[in-house]
């Protein structure tokens, strides 16, 4: 099971073919077990244009959403404490990383530098 990071979602919405093809392969490989968190939803909506709203809404509704709960919040705080200054880990990235780890999923991102809490095997390739 895979969590899709915001950068990948933006590339899909922008129609970047190589990412769209890989996403389609991923959906088949995982039998549709691809997830996002409320953080990705917020980040996408923060930059959506009026003419893109309907398409974006339909796209995001196609994902299962991992809830942000107390355990995720606690682990995210640990990540910020450990990596905030040294790796510039933000609250958003720490919450996405924590939700992914707690659920035992892998993360698909092109921005691995923002997720120092993951070993290479924690990323989807």
pTM (two decimals): 0.92
Q: What pLDDT score does 125 carry?
A: 84
Q: Which residues of the chain have pLDDT under 70?
A: none
Distance CA 52, CA 65 (A): 21
Q: What pLDDT score does 111 carry?
A: 93
Per-domain boundaries in the chain: 2-122
Contact 97, 5 (CB under 8 A): no
Q: What pLDDT score does 38 carry?
A: 97
Q: What pLDDT score does 124 carry?
A: 94
Which architecture characterizes domain 2-122 according to CATH?
Answer: 3-Layer(aba) Sandwich (3.40)
Q: What is the pLDDT of residues 106-125, one digit of tens each?
A: 999 999 999 999 999 999 98
Distance CA 97, CA 69 (A): 13
């Amino acid at each position: 099971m895979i969590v899709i990071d915001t950068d990948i979602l933006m590339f899909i919405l922008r129609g970047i073919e190589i990412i769209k093809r890989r996403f389609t392969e991923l959906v088949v490989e995982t039998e549709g077990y691809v997830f996002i968190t409320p953080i990705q939803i917020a980040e996408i909506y923060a930059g959506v244009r009026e003419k893109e709203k309907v398409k974006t809404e339909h796209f995001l509704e196609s994902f299962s959403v991992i809830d942000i709960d107390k355990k995720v919040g606690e682990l995210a705080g640990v990540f910020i404490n450990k990596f905030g200054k040294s790796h510039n880990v933000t609250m958003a990235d720490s919450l996405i990383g924590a939700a992914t780890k707690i659920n035992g999923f892998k993360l698909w991102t092109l921005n691995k530098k923002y997720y120092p809490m993951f070993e290479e095997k924690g990323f989807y390739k």
